[in-house]
Amino acid sequence: MASIRRTLSPAYHHRSYQNGAGFSSPSHKFLPNGNSKHSSSRHLPLLFTAVNLVCRKGWRRSLCWCLFFFLIGFVFGITLFGNMDTDIRAKDFAFPELKPPHVDLRLDDQIVTSVSLGIHTRLQEPKEVDDLIGPPLKQLIVVTPTYNRGFQAYFLNRLGQVLRLVKPPLVWIVVEEKVASFETAEILRRTGVMYRHVVCTRSPSEPKDRGVHQRNAALEHIERHKVDGIVFFADDDNVYTVELFESLRTIRRFGTWPVAMLAPSKNKAILEGPVCNGSQVIGWHTNEKSKRLRRFHVDMSGFAFNSSILWDPKRWGRPYSNPIRQLDTVKEGFQETTFIEQVVEDESQMEGIIPGCSRIMNWHLHLDTSNLIYPKGWLLEKNLEITLAIK
């Protein structure tokens, strides 16, 4: 194999090379003027050294080994990465195909139309319910004075069962004297009617004043708590219809109606109350000569009034603001008319309940229970439960 030799410069005489050949920079070989910089010819000796080794040891054998290992690497790479590429495409990188959603204009129009109709229907439902229910009902405030006597439990239970049939709202104010008894409270709880158990602490000087003081205690309770509604004095020994209580809710200021009652002789019935032309009061029914001096001929259970008259006099144009109470200084039978005179001025401020006042809706029987005969061994003055508990 031919070798390339040239005379070494004096700077390289002390260096020896293999095969006794001196190797120098090829700058004079490739550059015509031989004056190039060392930085541009620094990598050329490495290239000629590699070419010299290939030519010296046999470039064919090196090329065969290079091709052999290239083929092995190529086959190994195809086998390994070919399966991996299939798995990756099939599993790991199987991204879903992103497409814009299909828009059907006709379908969208149907959806919007159905939603609009649904909202419109729901908005109308409360109105339809309100039309069926109607305006809210006025609250009824039923005042009942009671005391310990024969048939007290019967009277309270009978009245409580009637009030139970009346549509709410209704509050039953039951007034006892001195103390609220356990027996009365138990009866009121069993009726299922909303009630208030009030005690009258004022002791009456006469039996006729008992009911007057008890009703005044209820009026004071209503005025203090500003209970809004229609006040009705319902004694427990009277008989009432459910229609009467439902009719009370039509009262704006003061309402009245005729009451049927037994005469003192108990052999005939008499009528006491207003004579009406429609809902206008034009006169009064009365049969007793002693009561013809009264201004208004009404029974205690024959009228009702708005409770705001008690605690809001300016609303009704009352010239004075004195508390409205029943009087115990007047004769028996005049408590009704003296009380009504504090509420209204004349018949023009009254309303006849039931057009024409032509229907009897409650009875005043005047039952006297003081002379009731109990079986032998029973004592009216003592409570049997307390007596047995003491023994």
Active-site residue list? 336
Residues linked to residue 142 through DSSP beta bridges, in sequence order: 172, 232
Q: Is 211 helix (H, G, I), strand (E, B) or coil?
A: helix
Indicate the SS3 state at residue 65.
helix
Name 254's Cβ contacts closer than 8 Å, sequence gap at least 6. 303, 304, 305, 306, 340, 343, 344, 349, 350, 351
H-helix segments, the chain:
27-30, 44-57, 59-87, 105-133, 152-164, 182-191, 210-225, 242-247, 308-311, 335-343, 384-390
Residue 196: in which H helix or E strand, if any? strand 195-200
Residue 278: HSE in the Cβ half-sphere, 13 Å Cα cutoff: 2
240, 159 contact by CB (below 8 A): yes
Q: Is 131 assigned to a binding site?
A: no
Number of Cβ atoms within 10 Å of the Cβ of 207? 10
Are 379 and 277 spatial neighbours (Cβ–Cβ below 8 Å)?
Answer: no
Q: Give dist(CA 52, CA 19) in Å, integer.
A: 13
Q: Spell out a b/e string for 28-57, using b for 16 or more CB atoms within 10 Å of the CB, else e.
A: eeeeeeeeeeeeeeeeeeeeeeeeeeeeee
CB 200 within 8 A of CB 111: no
Amino acid at 148: N
Contact 146, 369 (CB under 8 A): no
DSSP assigned state of 54: H
Our CA dihedral for 54, 60, 65, 71, rounded to 10 degrees, sits at 120
Helix, coil or strand: residue 61: helix
Annotated binding site for Mn(2+): 237
> Binding site: what residues are annotated?
237
